[in-house]
Amino acid sequence: MKKILSYLFNRFITILLYISGSITSIIVILIVIFLFSEGSGLFGKKPTEEGSIMAVNKTNKVKHLNAEQIKLIFDGEITNWKTVGGKNDSIILFRMDNITDYYTEEQIGENFENLPKCISQVVDSMPGIIALVNKKYIAKDFAGKELKIDKITVTDFLFGKLWFPTAQPVAVMGALPLLLGTFWVSIFAILFALPLGLATAIYMAEVAHPTVRNILKPVIELLAGIPSVVYGFFGLIVVVPLIQSVFNLPVGETAFAGSIVLGIMALPTIITISEDAIRTTPRSMKEASLALGATQWQTIFRVIIPYSSSGITAGAILGIGRAIGETMAVLMVTGNAAVIPHSLLQPVRTIPATIAAELGETSQGGLHYQALFTLGCILFLITLIVNLAVEFISRKRKRVEA
């Protein structure tokens, strides 16, 4: 009877674990599918307001423009058609609200019945006009021609230099500043954290007294559990004013501040993994090095570190993964400027910070909403590559040890 009960209990636990694992895997797969289904819908769409078109005079040689060019035109930075491949003629901006500058309310009609004809006449009368018009007010015999606007492509999204997803009348979605800001902050965070973390790991594993190590190790591991917003407050109150004062900057919220804060956050991961890797070095290898006349430091740098290099590299990559995916701390100290960085002392914006700052302001299913999900897809792929790199290095290390 006991054997039957034990067998049934083991079967129950096995089935329960199988169901739990299956449900978890299915949930993760569904999340990934949802992420990519929402993000992939962005491409192939026009970045204009739904239901509106851009119209120009029929004599205008310009047939199509991209989103960045239209933004610069409506911002007043491009004022001549020659700049975008047209005639040497001034650009005249026209929105539907401007119709009252040309016609009275009586001419337009009480119910706007004459509005399509009025718009057609305005576009026909001015060779340099570019008009933003609602489709339902386009007459069948419209005298102008619709300006073709380039659809959003993967290339334009990844390498576009401007990020203005809420710009009117055309959204400009170039993720290059966000990608560079993410890599800029993350790379310098690792350059700051890796030497310090490796030095601390070597000290704890090979130099420190066991009592000191037993005190330091739990304290360092505890740092990994501190919420990121606390690190953000620390950076905002301590690091940002210090950078502003030392470098005499107008603002201290810069990529450098983000790198320092992220470097501090990555330290526990790098120290813990590197220290564990160093401690796995066989004692016989250390004793053989010392027996041949090598000093303790020569043994550390020429035997222990080369042997544990795979583990140290894995710790560094996981630290990079922590830095790339961080949101709140970066959002608080980097200045949130979506510009291409040329210096560590400039404000930047990262992909996670952009998603956190803008997602609450979007309408579900809109272009801006889909663009943020596309950024999420990019961040997912970057993190996946980092994790695959760690897995590859770990397997390589196991083969070497075997």
- 260, part of any domain: yes
Residue with the larger pLDDT of the pair 323 and 264? 264
Output the six-digit token pair for 55. Answer: 């119209």
Which domain-ending residue is among 119, 152, 185? Answer: 152
User: Is residue 36 in some structural domain?
Assistant: yes
Region 311-340: what's the mean pLDDT? 83
**C-alpha dihedral (172, 177, 178, 183), degrees to nearest 10:** 160
What's the 3-state SS for 32-87? HHHHHHHHHCCCCCCCECCCEEEEECCCCCCCEECHHHHHHHHCCCCCEHHHHCCC
Residue 401 has pLDDT above 60, yes or no: no
**What CATH number did the domain enclosing 352 receive?**
1.10.3720.10
* List of residues 6+ apart from 352 with CB closer than 8 A: 182, 324, 325, 326, 327, 330, 331, 379
Same domain, 19 and 146: no
CATH number at residue 92: 3.40.190.10
Any domain includes 167: no
Both tokens of 371, joined, read: 């663009």
Q: What mean pLDDT comes out for the span 51-65?
A: 86
Verify that 246 and 394 share a domain, yes or no: yes
Q: Is the pLDDT of residue 400 over 70?
A: no
Q: Look at strands 64-65 and 148-149 and give their pairing.
A: parallel
At residue 134, the pLDDT reads: 85
What is the mean pLDDT of the segment spanning 213-234? 86
What pLDDT is stored for residue 136 in this prediction? 85
Same domain, 243 and 180: yes
- 143 or 2, higher pLDDT: 143
Q: 292 and 146, same structural domain?
A: no
> Per the structure, how many domains does the chain have?
3
Question: What is the per-residue pLDDT across 181-193, written as a single tens digit (0 to 9) for each?
Answer: 998 898 888 888 8
Average pLDDT over residues 205-234: 86
Check residue 241 and give its pLDDT: 92
66-95 pLDDT tens trace: 888 888 888 888 999 998 888 889 999 988
Q: Decide if pLDDT at 65 tops 80.
A: yes
**Beta carbons of 173 and 68 less than 8 angstroms apart:** no
Residue at which a domain ends, from 152, 186, 209: 152
Sign of CA dihedral 207, 213, 216, 218: positive
277 within a domain of the structure (yes/no) = yes
Assigned domain for 234 exists: yes
Are 280 and 331 members of one domain? Answer: yes
Q: Do 139 and 30 share a structural domain? A: no
Long-range own/partner contacts, residues 65-68 (CB < 8 A, 24 or more apart): 65/147, 65/148, 65/149, 65/150, 66/149, 66/150, 66/156, 67/149, 67/150, 67/152, 67/156, 67/170, 67/171, 67/172, 67/173, 68/160, 68/161, 68/162, 68/172, 68/174
Q: Are strands 129-134 and 52-56 parallel, antiparallel or unpaired?
A: antiparallel
At 358 the pLDDT is 87
92-95 and 129-134: which strand pairing?
parallel
What is the structure's pLDDT at 295?
85
**Averaged pLDDT of the chain:** 86
Separation CA 24–CA 73 (nearest Å): 50
Cβ neighbour number for residue 222 with a 10 Å cutoff: 10
Same domain, yes or no: 342 and 373: yes
Same domain, 209 and 337: yes
Residues 18 and 99 reside in one and the same domain: no
89 in any annotated domain: yes
Predicted pLDDT of residue 178: 92
- What element of type H or E holds 25? helix 2-40
Provide φ and ψ at 130, rounded to 5°. Answer: -130, 120
Residue 229 confidence class, pLDDT cut points 50, 70, 90: confident
Band (pLDDT 50/70/90 cuts) for residue 244 is: very high
- Domain holding 97, by residue range, is 52-152
What value does the mean pLDDT take over residues 335-339? 87
- When pLDDT is averaged across residues 122-147 and rounded to a whole number, the result is 86
Q: Could you tell me what percent of the chain has a pLDDT over 70?
A: 97
Q: 20 and 93: one domain?
A: no
**Whether residues 354 and 295 fall in one domain:** yes
User: Worst-scoring range by mean pLDDT, 22-36, 226-240, 298-312?
Assistant: 298-312
Average pLDDT, integer, range 214-218? 86
**Mean pLDDT to the nearest integer, 124-151:** 86
Average pLDDT over residues 140-155: 85
Least confidently predicted of 73-87, 106-120, 129-143, 313-327: 313-327
pLDDT-wise least confident of 117-121, 197-201, 362-366, 393-397: 393-397
pLDDT band at 176 (very low <50, low <70, confident <90, very high): very high
Give the Cβ contact number of residue 36 at 10 Å: 16
Tell whether the model's pLDDT for residue 323 goes beyond 80.
no
Q: Is 46 a domain residue?
A: no
Is 172 in a helix, a strand, or coil? strand
**Cα→Cα distances 278→156, 190, 213, Å:** 46, 19, 14
272 with 146, same domain: the answer is: no
Is residue 87 included in any domain, yes or no? Answer: yes
HSE at residue 338, side-chain half, CA atoms within 13 A, is 19
Q: What is the pLDDT of residue 397?
A: 57
Place of tokens 């997602």: 359
Q: Which tokens hold the place of 31?
A: 């999340």
Q: 396 pLDDT exceeds 70? A: no
